[in-house]
Amino acid sequence: MASSSSCSSSVSFGVILVWLMSCFSYGNGCYTSIISFGDSLADTGNLKQLGSISNREVFPLLLPPYGENFLNQSTGRCSNGRLIIDFLAERLGLPLTPPFLQDNGNNNMVTFKQGVNFAVAGATALDPSVLEPRGIVNPMTNASLGVQLAWFKQSLPSICGNESNCRDFIGRSLILVGEIGGNDYNYPILWGQPIEEVEVLVPLVVDTIISTINELIGMGAKTLVVPGNFPVGCSASYLTVCGSQNEEYDPKTGCLVRLNQFAEYHNKLLQTKLKQVRDLHPDVNIFYADYYNAAMEIYRFPYKYGFTNGALKACCGGEGRYNVDPTVQCGEVSATVCDEPDTHVSWDGIHLTEAAYRVISKNLFSTPQFNSLCSTSTSGVGLSGSL
């Protein structure tokens, strides 16, 4: 049912009929579902659930004030409120994407028909077997991208039944692959490994993302949204841990130049490889979600977007130039929290506030490039909803 029409264009009766039927069978958006893989930028509750399964001590980022502005509780989202994936779901007219890991005995499979999220806060793209020989041991979770993909494959029969139904389900889903890979670099860099040593991981991380995308295409994926990395040189944690008189700062933003160049290196390689995938699969839509430049816009012009406390100082944390104290984490009793998170870009030093995620989502998903994915997707139904 390939159709290039959009809901707003003037079309023949037959096309309108097809469109009406599409709207009936596919809900009010382009896609029937969001399937998501990634880390804390997209986790809507998996790490929280993993923590309770393993009876481990609770991570501070699962406690208040995380989530204080959203549903008035900690859902396991690493922000004060909603994440980019939540704004995306709202825009597509879909329910918020539920975490794959649910309470024991709670049969929630039916809710996965409109979305399922495998992202786990702290997850890396690479498996521990690749990272550990390099001295990188994940303190939060071993649910790497490969593990998340395995969960997806295992759960398919209960979500969509037989193989042909599942191909159909996957083909009508918007699949968010990432952001992932940031933690592969965060752990070693924040632990003091030289950036030059961490750089050798970039091609490995990008290849892992690309092979995951190829597997998903093999399973029937037709629309993939692949985010790049954020400008980590602007994050309050990196500014606190890596900043020094010897480091170069961008005079316009105050961000660390070398770390932003590192993020751009990952992003450029990812885009080069995505182009190769597109060339091989012209029938598949692959949207590169440019988190880097969407965020840089805020770091360059924080006042324009209402971030009157500047773009660099964290809202939740401790003492210090950037409100980050490596010995006090947001979520711990001794942490301080700002009164107006909406005036900050940085929530806890690493993650952004809901207000920042809202602006980024708007800049990314209100664009003609993103909307055009919809008109060429299999359902051919126009986008509805707004941010």
Ligand X SMILES: *[C@@H]1O[C@H](CO)[C@@H](O)[C@H](O)[C@H]1NC(C)=O
Is residue 101 a contact partner of residue 46, using CB atoms and an 8 Å limit?
yes
Which residue, 26 or 307, is less far from ligand X as judged by CB? Answer: 26
Smallest separation (angstroms) from ligand X to the CB of 93: 25
Stretch that binds ligand X, among 28-36, 133-141, 340-348, 362-370 (CB under 6 A): 133-141
Token pair listed for 331: 């979520």
Q: Where are the beta strands (DSSP E) in 150-218?
A: 173-177
Please report how close the Cβ of residue 381 comes to ligand X at its closest, in angstroms: 22
Question: Is 327 an interacting residue with respect to ligand X (CB under 6 A)?
Answer: no
Q: Which is nearer to ligand X, 7 or 130 (CB)?
A: 130
Query: What residues are labeled active site?
Result: 40, 348, 351
Segment interacting with ligand X (CB under 6 A) among 19-27, 159-167, 292-300, 301-309: 159-167
The answer to whether 55 contacts ligand X (rule: CB under 6 A) is: no
Closer residue to ligand X in complex, CB, 114/346: 114
Q: Is 142 a residue that touches ligand X (CB under 6 A)? A: yes
Q: At CA 223, angle to CA 219 and CA 225, rounded to 5? A: 115
- Whole-angstrom Cα distance, residue 19 to residue 57? 51
Least Å distance, CB 72 to ligand X, is 4
**Smallest separation (angstroms) from ligand X to the CB of 254:** 34
Which lies closer to ligand X via its Cβ, residue 59 or residue 292?
Answer: 59
Buried b (16+ CB within 10 A) or exposed e, 225-247: bbbbbbbbbbbbbbbbbbbeeee
Q: Which is nearer to ligand X, 247 or 340 (CB)?
A: 340
Question: Cβ 35 to ligand X, closest distance in Å?
Answer: 19
Complete edge-to-edge strand list for the sheet that includes strand 33-37: 115-117, 33-37, 173-177, 223-227, 285-289
SS3 of residue 227 by DSSP: strand
Residues of this chain that bind ligand X (CB under 6 A): 72, 128, 132, 138-142, 161-162, 164-165
